[in-house]
Amino acid sequence: MSDTVLPVTGAAPYDVVVGTDLPGRLPQVLGGGVQRVAVIFSDDLGELVRPVLESLATAYDVTVLPIPDGERAKAATVVASCWEALGEAGFTRSDAIVTFGGGATTDVGGFVAATWLRGVRVVHVPTTLLGMVDAAVGGKTGINTRSGKNLVGSFHEPAGVLCDLAHLRSLPRAELVAGLGEVVKCGFIADPRILDLVEAADPAGLTADSAVLRELVERAIRVKIDVVVSDLKETGGSGGHPGREVLNYGHTMAHAIERAEGYTVRHGEAVAMGCVYVAELAARAGTLAPEVVARHHTAFAHVGLPTTYSGASFEELHAAMKVDKKARGSQLRFVVLTDLAVPAVLSGPSEVDLRSAYEVLATGRAVSR
């Protein structure tokens, strides 16, 4: 099957390419005038990244920058070590960075690119489903602090994104399933056809070489492209649409769960639980019909994602949600649905509703309202 090229328009246009065996496209995407390329990659992908390093070494001076795996990479100390390495290698504004790894790697590598000399070119090569459909597209970069997730960051659009589905062949099954959390989320917020495909699929058949998985990847990427093109820096949508903030559907609770678990829970798993929570919250606010709420439980569960969480108390999660980026002052704000693919913002829900929705999340059983 031929590669699919999904253009991202705007002030700094670029392409997202979906296909297999894509390293040969790197020189074209990097563009002219580049002498030095730093490859920032997860240190557990040493063998997988080798073809990329060998391909680049024929045309560029390559600096190899392994970073810790997963959320451990998203720390100021890691970013600082990358800055020092770029300085020692003599990186100039015309040089470039390539990231290779999951969403945490693209977040960190993108932030390094955004901040070195106030911005150098970056190309993302995501190796996880989560990275392909979420982190690598849209220009958001960031690192964590003790106070919360992604609280320090910048917007820095890539020069291109290469989603090589061949990399998913070596991805642990649990990681692939976790990536489906963001895919199913896209079905709820913008493209219900995604839900139809997921619900009709045999979950075991959703593999790297599956035509259905490829369609799901491309549809989820299109959802994200459509959103970020209209609202790159999350300044707001029009006609009541939350704009780019819609991509954070379920993320307020998801980030609270991740923090409570010391970032040991997979992001896509947390998103699934967060979406179930916010659907229950919307039901209590009177904006979402019971059948759509129920579909949240069943769609995520169908592919093997968790839909309950009781590992932390309501009080602990409530406190974590208060430092979420979407909060305004002391008021919590949630992206909710009023119907499939009809998002809105719910500001300042009552603690009674917040707690009641948590009780469903914790037990999996509806409570009286």
Is position 222 annotated in a ligand binding site? no
Residue 344 and residue 240 in contact, taking contact as beta carbons nearer than 8 Å: yes
Q: Is 106 annotated as a binding residue?
A: yes
Q: Is 127 annotated as a binding residue?
A: yes
Does 124 carry a binding-site annotation? no
Annotation-wise, does 325 bind a ligand?
no
In angstroms, the CA 199 to CA 193 distance is 10
The DSSP bridge partners found for residue 152 are 143
Distance CA 288, CA 279 (A): 7
Q: Is 326 annotated as contributing to ligand binding?
A: no
Q: Tell me whether residue 135 is annotated as binding.
A: no
- Establish whether 61 is an annotated binding residue: no
DSSP one-letter code for 128: S
Residue 241 annotated as lining a ligand binding site: no
Measured distance CA(282)–CA(294) in Å, rounded: 12
149 is in an annotated binding site: yes
Is 251 known to sit in a ligand binding site?
Answer: yes
Q: Which long-range contacts (CB under 8 A, 24 or more apart) does 309-316 make?
A: 309/257, 309/273, 309/361, 309/362, 310/361, 310/362, 310/363, 311/257, 311/260, 311/261, 312/256, 312/257, 312/260, 312/261, 314/354, 314/355, 314/358, 314/359, 314/362, 316/260
Q: Which two tokens stand for residue 219?
A: 């549809």
Cβ within 8 Å of residue 2, ≥6 positions away: 19
92 is annotated as contributing to ligand binding: no
Is 224 annotated as belonging to a binding site?
no
Are 243 and 235 within 8 A, CB to CB?
A: yes
Bin 143: left if φ > 0, else alpha if -120 < ψ < 50, else beta.
beta
Contact 188, 249 (CB under 8 A): yes
Eight-class DSSP state of 133: I
According to the annotation, is 296 in a ligand binding site? no
Q: Tell me: is residue 140 an annotated ligand-binding position.
A: yes
Which positions make up the binding site for NAD(+)?
Answer: 69-74, 103-107, 127-128, 140, 149
Which positions make up the binding site?
Answer: 69-74, 103-107, 127-128, 140, 149, 182, 251, 267
Which positions make up the binding site for Zn(2+)?
Answer: 182, 251, 267
